[in-house]
Amino acid sequence: MTAPARVLLVDDDKNLRRVLELQLAEAGHRVDAVASAEDGLERLAGDKYDVVVTDLRMPGMDGLALLDEIKRRDAEAVVVVLTAHGDVDSAVRALKEGAFDFLRKPVAREALLGAVARAANFRALYFAVARQREALHRRYSFERIVGGSPAMQQAFDLMRRAAPANATVLLRGETGTGKDLFARAIHHNSRRADGPFVILNCAAIPETLLESAFFGHEKGAFTGADARRIGCYEEAHKGTLFLDEIGLLGPALQGKLLRVLEGGTLRRVGGTQDLTFDVRLVAATNSPLEEMVADGRFREDLYFRLRVVEIRLPPLRERPEDVPLLVDRLLVELEAPHVRVDPEAAARLRAHPWPGNVREMRNVLERALIVRADEGRITADDLGLGPSPAPLPAVPPPSDALDVIAVPPSGIDIDQVERKLLEIALRACGGNRSHAARFLCLGRHALLYRLRKHGLLPGDESGPPAG
């Protein structure tokens, strides 16, 4: 059933105007009826209407001039025009100039009510979509992403620069660091914001099905393919495709993805026709792609094609200064903005290593809100976290630490400096690689990559990283 609408009826024929007004009112609509376009514009200046119904031929300003002025004032206005028999050319012109529909006189009651209902529903749907779009924009605006640390500010700056462009973006970071949020923010702040945002998680689909999920397939392409299916790349036409965990793609799919990125065309599984689509790619991974390239598990040409813009998202343990900001934001999202976190709980939250990053923090706070004994605050006991990790060892810098900073006459050898810093960190942390990674503000994978690069993984300088 159609909801009642505010309708402005404009017609110089007194008898017809009265009949149409009664028919609309009996259907539940609220109607204001006027005899001229000038009176109609006066009403529109003071009131909001869902639908305008106007005759085309009137003395003074005619219906086409009224339509033009209404659209000039409000491009989203919905106007239905009435035209006499034989004046179809004027009705077609009105449609070209933005009228929603036209009705020929004499106007049947069912035709009138149907046209007004369709027009009112169209306007309601338009504004519902506009509200949803605005909500998405607010949700994924740059300001919604929390982080005041230098590493996060650097990531924000790259994201702001990358969003309006059409370049491929590679997001690097551990699980829970916000790669999905960054991908959505890039899309919703790009020129493709009105297009689709499609996600394909390469870790969630068996490798045997990934090709069909990406490219789509034709009917009969394989057993069980009883109908054509479009793939996620085709689905993302005029929008953004987010490939999560791209490091898990097998070699065959890596090659096919590279051909799509370089040529812009794809062929559905079982198809014979090359199809062209306009898609922006944002990829994300927690995999050490450099190591995978070095040992042949990931194509080097695809790696360079993906990292046109590379954004690294630091783990939460490397930006403890952002913890209070994140706690405040997450409590708002969990509809508990007035709940206070007591000092001991705040200290525990700041000291926790957060292996699951922001996603883990959200789960911890959600649990705390459920189990807390005091409705107004969260205590350390409510968090359910284990004891705080031991602080990094407080040791004096090795005697050769200053050698790293000294600038010799021959200049600085960056590789030598990096190797020296790694050796210093390992000695300072008693050989504990997890402590050394924290000591250098690196992720564990990043530390292992650098240790291997400089031959500092004992007994295994070329194989997989040792614990």
- Report how far apart, in Å, the C-alpha atoms of 435 and of each of 392, 427, 460 are: 6, 11, 20
Assign residue 241 the CATH number of its domain: 3.40.50.300
Domain that holds residue 352: 316-383
Judgement on whether residues 308 and 327 belong to the same structural domain of the protein: no
Domain boundary among 107, 135, 163: 135
- Flag whether 119 is in a domain: yes
In a domain, 466, yes or no: no
395 within domain boundaries: no
Q: Are residues 170 and 46 in the same domain?
A: no
Domain boundary, last residue among 285, 312, 339: 312
Are 193 and 245 in a shared domain? Answer: yes
Residues 185/321, Cβ–Cβ less than 8 Å: no
**How many folded domains does the chain comprise?**
4
> CA-based Rg of the chain, rounded to a whole angstrom?
32
pLDDT of residue 466: 37
Q: Indicate if 19 and 100 belong to the same structural domain.
A: yes
Residues 23, 230: Cα–Cα separation, whole Å: 47
CATH number for the domain that contains residue 32: 3.40.50.2300
One domain, residues 92 and 148: no
Pair 22, 126 in one domain? yes
In 3D space, the residue among 278, 279, 299, 282 whose CA is nearest the CA of residue 290 turns out to be 299
* pLDDT at position 134: 64
Q: Looking at the chain, how many residues does it have? A: 467
Quote the CA–CA distance of 105 and 85 in Å, as a whole number. Answer: 6
Judge if 205 and 323 occupy the same domain: no
User: What local confidence, expressed as pLDDT, does residue 327 receive?
Assistant: 92
- Do 17 and 125 lie in one domain? The reply is yes
Name which of 316, 330, 319, 318 is nearest 378 in CA terms.
330
Determine, yes or no, domain membership for 274. Answer: yes
Domain-located, residue 463: no
Write down the pTM of the prediction: 0.60
Asked if 175 and 303 sit in the same domain, the reply is yes
Q: What is the CATH number of the domain that holds 417?
A: 1.10.10
Task: Out of 255, 281, 312, pick the residue that ends a domain.
Answer: 312
The pLDDT tens digits along the chain (467 residues) read 467 889 999 999 899 999 999 999 999 999 999 999 999 999 998 888 999 999 988 888 988 999 999 988 888 889 999 987 667 788 888 888 889 998 988 888 999 999 999 999 988 888 877 677 666 555 655 566 778 888 888 998 999 999 999 999 999 999 999 899 899 999 988 999 889 999 999 888 887 788 888 888 888 777 777 788 888 999 999 999 999 999 999 888 999 899 998 888 888 888 878 888 999 999 999 999 999 999 999 999 999 999 999 999 999 988 888 999 899 989 988 989 899 999 999 988 988 889 899 999 999 999 999 988 777 899 998 998 866 555 555 544 555 444 555 556 666 677 788 888 888 888 888 788 877 877 787 766 678 878 888 888 765 444 433 33
Note whether 334 and 282 are same-domain residues: no
**Confidence at residue 402, expressed as pLDDT on a 0 to 100 scale:** 46
Is residue 333 domain-resident? yes
